Each structure stands twice: as structure tokens, then as C-alpha cells.
Amino acid sequence: MKKSIAFIFPGQGSQKVGMGKDLYNSYSEAKDVFKRVDEALNQKLSKIIFDGDENELKLTSNTQPALMAVSLAIIKVLESKIGKKISDFLEIVLGHSLGEYSSLCSIGSIGLEDTAKILRIRGDAMQNSVKNIKTRMVAVLGLDIEKVEEKLEELSKDTSFLCEVANDNCPGQVILSGLASSVDLVEKEFKSIGARSLIDLPVSAPFHCSLMQPASEIMVEALEKLYIQEPKVKFINNVSAEFLSEPGEIKKKLAEQVCKRVRWRESILKVSQSNIETIIEVGSGKVLTGLNKRMKIDKRFDNISSLDDMEKFLKLYGEKIWKGMF
């Protein structure tokens, strides 16, 4: 069977109160996912997702399992509708930051309950890594990665400077993370070399930089206890933007990932070099779809984040997948 579809899974920043509620109200498969996540965490996370306070949902310990739950609810409904596991028709899966866990869970490499629990550990570890230190994360718009890296290297000659590339998202959008004093300096310097703007990100910790090393160490220990099955679908990891299949290597990269750069631009370029024709974002929002379209690669981009999106996907691809044409 020809396989030409990649599924991608969103990370933090895509969350919104009410996400997934239409699926929950319409499909027992979606309802079951949210119920199992609630039970795994011993918390009514679904209540926060559907009707909670935005600030409570934005807490990274809630955001991470919440976004995963929405993505997996979509996957389970999709599989029920098509009558096949997604691993039967997908060529590649990948995710942005926490989305890596969603991607592995979607193809059965990690169990749903285990994924919810490990993301709660990850969220708590990341939140608690930096205390009593002022930090910032900013999106740099209008500069490519080469210029950003060159300027950061120049500034890092000062040993007190700590600001690093957290996400290389797409041409013209790079996320920085680090000490507030260092990011303040970067803001002035980058505008002088042509940055269109620097936008503060409303996050509670400086993700994907060396300040997250304590979280990485916690994840090493937590991941040692986690059962990961070898992926049935090609999996691209964030840290190296390369395919990984050996469970031990996957665990190693997942632990490193919290304090390393998310190489999203490179990951999508890797997808573009395959026989993939369609890249579909599965989960809340369209953040990744927007980034990918700026890559200007010859692929079709789509997303499934709602009931309407689900129906659209099934209309376009359902019969072809069922007949083995994808």
C-alpha cells in the first residue's frame, strides 16, 4: 500500500479552553480518551480543558497532558471512522516538543495512561527547574537561524550571558530562551541587525535551554521506567531531526529534548525529502500548519482540530485510506 501521509502533533501554545469538547460530546471514543486521562492523573483534567480557567490550563503541568488528550481523542475517533489503525496508513509521525509524546502514543509506542503520567512529570519538572530567577522566552521575527546563531555566539563571550535558541520553527521565526537580563540585551542587539520584532511568549519557564538541565535529569529517571515499544511508523525526533526507532535512543532524546533546541524547520525538511504528499496537524489549533506553510515546500498541508475538520478529512481521504490508496 502506498503511504504518503505524515501526522504532526502540536506543542505548548496551541491550547485553548474548550478544545476537543465537540468531539467529546459527539463520540464515545473521544469521551473514553478524556476519561482515561482523568483517571491516570487522578484529576478532572477534562473539566479544566472544556470549561476551566485559561490560566489554570496554561500551567505547563496541565497543558502538556491536555494537548496530548485532545490529539489522541481525534486519533481514536479517526481510527473508528476509518476502521484502521493510523499506523496502517501513515508513513511518518513527529511532534513539536510535548507533541513528540503525542506522536508516539498515537501509533501505540507508548500507552495512553503512561503518556499522560509522563507528561505530568515532565510539566512539573520543567516548571520547577527554575526558581527565584528572572527568565524570558521571545519569538524573533524576520531573522533566519544563521544570523541569530552568529549574534548569540558573539554575545556569549560574556560568561554571564545565557540566551539560547529554543525552537528553530521556520524561516524568519526563531524562539529564544534564557535569563531575562540576557534576553533584554538580545532584544536591543537583534533589532539593530534587522529583526522585524521580538515578541514575548507568555510562558512560566525558559523551555528548551540549558536552564532546564534539572528537568532533563528528572526525565532520564522517569523515562527509564517507561515502556516504549519500537515505532510501527517512521518517527522523527526534535533533537537531531532524524529518524529514530530504537526505544533506548528514543528515551535518550526525549530526556535531552527539554533542554535542547526543537529543530522543527529541519524536521519538516526531512519530511519533505521523503515520498510524503500530505502533512496533517492533529490536535488543537493550526500553529504548526502555519509554520509549515512558510517553509514553501511542495506538500499539501491540512489540520484536524475540530469536528468539522474531521468530517473534511474523512471526505477527502477516508475512502482512499480504506481502499489502501494511501
The closest of 217, 178, 215 to 198, measured between CA atoms, is 178
Catalytic (active site) residue 96: no
Q: How many other CB atoms sit within 10 Å of the CB of residue 233?
A: 24
Tell whether the torsion through CA atoms of 119, 207, 11 and 249 is positive or negative.
negative
Residue written as cell 528572572?
A: 134
Catalytic (active site) residue 97: yes
Contacts 24+ apart (CB under 8 A), 129-133: 129/205, 129/211, 129/212, 129/213, 129/214, 129/215, 130/205, 130/206, 130/211, 130/212, 133/179, 133/211
Give the span between the Cα atoms of 285 and 283, in whole angstroms. 6
The residues, ordered by sequence, that sit 6+ positions from 14 with a Cβ below 8 Å of its Cβ are 67, 283, 284, 285, 287, 288
The closest of 211, 135, 117 to 180, measured between CA atoms, is 135
**Selected catalytic residue, list 208, 216, 267, 305:** 208
**Selected catalytic residue, list 97, 103, 129, 216:** 97
The C-alpha cell of 61 is what?
503541568
Give the span between the Cα atoms of 140 and 6, in whole angstroms. 28
Instruction: Enumerate the active-site residues.
Output: 97, 208
